Structure 1
Amino acid sequence: MRKITMILLLSMLLGTCTLPAMAISEESQDVIQEAQQDYEKWGRVAVRTIGEAYEGYDVYDYEYEGRETPTDTIAEDTFELKIRSDGQEITKNVRVRFNTQTGDLLQITVVEE
């Protein structure tokens, strides 16, 4: 249920999902704002990681793939980044694992697609 709620919230944030007009509670607004801040924070970490690992390459496309929550305190956001240099294009998936209670970064994994 939590995963579905997060997907729905992120879809609403990204404008890919619309719901009938309704009043949103203050608590729901806080959850939406927190999800957006997490998405932006970990997205910047993913872009910076690729920039450091692939010097000379430019990130030309970026997509948030979603979030998995293996435990109540751990989440993993996945981003797809497309990079290029001198006509060579590569797609990388970056998984950022973090503690949802403390906001601490736990692990970054980069996989070539």
Structure 2
Amino acid sequence: MGTGNYDGGYFFEGELLLLDLESGTATSLIEDGPGRQVLGLEWLDDQRLRVLTAPPDDWDDEDAWTEGHIAVVRRADWRAVPPRSVPRTRSWPAHGWRPRARTAGSTPAGRSPG
């Protein structure tokens, strides 16, 4: 599940939470810091989750309110994902991308993992 908002002055903050429906536990996945506002999520398959986030802030970024950044997070076993294990890195702009699916090592979209 993705959350987030604009803090009113500079940052787009939020969380990416992985909710285990069997145990009821939630794990915050974005590494330490203010997090990132999550605008959309789409499961691509059982191991890959496409995440659309807002830019980290609106400093010198006229497009911060109209574009997002896409990363594809791949994990072999989502139940074993440690907390704060998804980096807060910038990825490529995603003009007009709209999620169509459900909520809840990172590789930028279009690249295969190392």
- TM-score for the superposition, normalised by structure 1: 0.38
Which of structures 1 and 2 has the bigger CA Rg?
1
More strand by share: 1
Give the number of the structure with larger relative contact order, counting CA–CA contacts within 8 Å between residues 6 or more apart. 2
- TM-score for the superposition, normalised by structure 2: 0.37
More helix by share: 1
